[in-house]
Amino acid sequence: MLLFLILKRVEYIKISGEDGHVENIYTDTFEIHWIHSVEKEEWYETYEIRENKLFITKSSFKTYGAGVPTDVKYKSKINDDGFVELTINQFRESLLLTVSSNVETTIHYETIDLKLYEIYENYSSVEVSVESIPLILYLFRI
């Protein structure tokens, strides 16, 4: 049993700020929310952990503007809430985000909104990546 607890690994999301502050999120799915700086509309991307990497499943937004993917390889639909949803389905090694109170950079998981703009300095960078630890450490984490 002890060998299982040592060998079995638990994946989690690690958010590392350039100031050295780290937030760990123990979930296998999350969304990044922000307000588009030009269009002033909410935008979000949905991620999962797959194969020890980030996997973006979809991107949702209300209006087309700067930065919206225009590649026809993405399947799109308009949801009942008025959001355009693009199916992306791509792996990412990590994400580099610029945190801003103007766009309210937030990570949402389960029922929690982790407001990065309240944790990290305005216009600082954070890296979002997948890490793993042995199950025994996960069970006894503080």
- Taking only the tens place, the pLDDT of each residue in 46-65 is 999 999 999 999 999 887 66
- Answer whether residue 6 is part of any domain: no
- Answer whether residue 119 is part of any domain: yes
Task: Indicate the number of domains in the chain.
Answer: 1
- Answer whether residue 98 is part of any domain: yes
| pLDDT bracket for residue 36 (50, 70, 90) | confident
* Residue 90 clears pLDDT 90, i.e. is over it: yes
Q: What is the pLDDT of residue 140?
A: 86
Helix residue ranges, H only, 32-89? none
| pTM recorded for the entire structure | 0.86
- Return the structure tokens found at 7: 């060998």
- Answer whether residue 91 is part of any domain: yes
- Answer whether residue 11 is part of any domain: no
Domain containing 65 equals 27-130
Q: Give the phi and the psi of residue 46 in degrees, each rounded to 5.
A: -110, 130
Distance CA 101, CA 42 (A): 14
Average pLDDT of the residues in 62-78 = 66
The strand pair at 53-61 and 94-98 is best described as unpaired
- Answer whether residue 16 is part of any domain: no
- Answer whether residue 73 is part of any domain: yes
- Answer whether residue 141 is part of any domain: no
Q: pLDDT higher for 81 or 76?
A: 81
DSSP strands (E only) in the chain: 9-17, 22-25, 29-35, 42-50, 53-61, 75-78, 84-92, 94-98, 106-109, 112-115, 125-134
- Return mean pLDDT, the chain: 88
